[in-house]
Chain A
Amino acid sequence: MNWYGIKSIFIHELDRFRRTIFQSLASPIITTSLYFVVFGSAIGSRITEIDGINYGSYIVPGMIMLTILTQAISNASFAFYFPRFTNTIYEILAAPLSSFEIVLGFVGAAATKSIIIGCVIIITAGFFVDIEIEHPFLMIFFLILTSITFALFGFIIGMYADNFEGLQIIPILVITPLVFLGGSFYSINMLPEFWQKVSLLNPVLYLISGFRYSFYEVSDVSLFTSILTIFVILISCISFITITFARGYKIKN
């Protein structure tokens, strides 16, 4: 393993995060605070409780998921697309690095940034509502695995995007709607039966449900299905990246 190479990519990417630290952290803090003001106070005062949990507290896991999903995708996609855009990728391709090591460097950095932001959101949320974490290790497991999985997904977008607009299309048109419709701010039990069934087709629902279980021991679907879903997405992303790298598609051709 080229550990120095992996470390170089990792530190190089985190350095970009450090250079834009205010923007990187201020944005999720402000957004989280706004969600609490709008959903927690204004709307939440009319909902009061879901599954016996105060609405403000209930939406915390969904909000964290929303942020780490979008952050992991945008960080990883930008991190890999940017050297392609500036052509500085030549030295990564010329270096004695395997595709696995390249992915480890970029995805590791993007996932780390997402985890840091996830933690910042938990702290921010703590200022607005009471948060209990019933299963802290399960929560950390979901936080890390979701960050890695969606950083991998972002990496795929970074490999395939032809321009900066291409980086935004999937996060805006696919991921954000899936997160919002995946029970971030409600339980699917509140929906009519038909829409409950439709919601079960949304993979993000399983992630949010599992993550929420780690906080309050309440979930829309079984914990096992949630864990299985995240592993399926993870393995799909890894396989896709492996095949793409092997073919050299858009990178080495």
Chain B
Amino acid sequence: MSTVLKINNVTKTYNKKLKALDKINLQIKKGEIFALLGPNGAGKSTLINSICGIVNFDSGSIKINDLDIIQNYRETRKVVGIVPQELYLEAFETIWNNVNYSRGLFGKPPNYQYVESVLKELSLWDKKDSKLKELSGGMKRRVLIAKALSHEPKILFLDEPTASVDVELRKDMWNVVKKLNHKGVTIILTTHYIEEAEELSDRVAIINDGKIILVDEKQKLMKKLGQKTIKIELENSIENITTKLSKYKFDIDESKKILTHSFNLSKENTDITEMLNDLKNEGLKLKDINTDQSSLEEIFIKLIKENNNELVRN
């Protein structure tokens, strides 16, 4: 896949004090869904706003389709759409006028048929003559997506697209994002909901304190940093762990009936068969076995915690 977005050493400091972005390097591939994860104030929105031209960054370079976004702002901005985090809309405009206005801003001639298809796709067509102030929060968020799509962008930035929307609408939004991606739109989203990144993204970056601390494919990341646990419930309680079993480093619960064994997913050969044989040889009778895998959320929390500890040490 070719690279559509290249970010090199981008730095941004607010009021000469707060370093929001610290030498950010990132590349986004054409056609992927890329999730940018990070806690509040990590620099996610500043990064998106810098790419879209909403914020001036201090140093470094950003290229879209190999064109510098400052020198070639006309060409690069035409292919980019942005859905902001907050519901930034004018209250007294109608959906129809507002979406057509957005299309015009991006230098596109009117195309009512296209705008109609976007509104229909986002279930907004019936409300096209409604004023924006009359819409629910979820509808407003759809309008923001319609506005971002009005000029047929090839890259779409979604800054917290499902913040404060209900579960049903969130699933709807995910479907919209997937559909767009199937049509060839490259999607870059920031989110607090790790579940969202887990559901949608091909690749994930984790940003903390203005620095990218990790970029990887979601599956690889989960395999590399994820942990799997096996919980073995015994029929009878176990008094002591024998020398033979001690190598598995079991955690034993209070009832002394549940043994928990954790192992890294990146391990080529797990020792599960051997472990079960050893348990059998020790005369232990198994009642039940459960497995559990760490989610992206747990990986994210672990990484942020490690990174914060490192920052404190430095």
Contacts and interface: CB of A to CB of B under 8 A. Distances in A.
A19 B92 contact: yes
Interface of A: 2-5, 7-9, 11-12, 15, 19, 83, 86-88, 90-97, 248, 252-253
B88 A88 contact: yes
Nearest to A7: B104
Contacts of B147: 91
- Most chain-A CB neighbours within 10 Å: which of B54, B73, B86, B92? B54
Given A4-B104, A93-B53, A87 B74 contact: no
A39 to B, nearest CB: 37
A168 to B, nearest CB: 21
Given A8-B101, A97-B105, 16 more contacts: A4-B104, A4-B106, A7-B104, A86-B89, A88-B88, A88-B89, A90-B54, A91-B102, A93-B52, A93-B53, A94-B77, A94-B80, A96-B73, A96-B77, A248-B55, A252-B53
Contacts of A92: 105
Contacts of A2: 74, 107
B14 interface: yes
Nearest to A12: B101
B104 A90 contact: no
B114 to A, nearest CB: 14
Interface of B: 14, 49, 52-56, 73-78, 80, 82, 84, 86, 88-92, 97, 101-109, 147
Contacts of A83: 90
A143 B117 CA distance: 45
Contacts of A90: 49, 54, 82, 84, 88
A253 B57 CA distance: 9
Contacts of B53: 93-94, 252
3 tightest CB-CB pairs across the interface, nearest first?
A: A8-B104, A95-B105, A96-B77
Interface of A: prevailing SS: helix
B121 to A, nearest CB: 20
Contacts of A8: 101, 103-105
21 contacts: A2-B74, A2-B107, A3-B107, A8-B101, A8-B103, A8-B104, A83-B90, A86-B89, A88-B90, A90-B54, A91-B102, A91-B105, A93-B52, A94-B52, A94-B54, A95-B106, A96-B73, A96-B74, A96-B106, A253-B14, A253-B56
A193 B43 CA distance: 63
B56 A87 contact: no
- Most chain-B CB neighbours within 10 Å: which of A12, A19, A87, A248? A12
A131 to B, nearest CB: 37
Contact of A86 (B74, B76, B88, B103): B88
Contacts of A95: 77, 105-107
Contacts of A15: 97
B249 to A, nearest CB: 52
B102 to A, nearest CB: 6
B52 to A, nearest CB: 4
Contacts of B92: 19
B298 to A, nearest CB: 34
- Most chain-B CB neighbours within 10 Å: which of A8, A19, A248? A8
Contacts of A88: 88-90
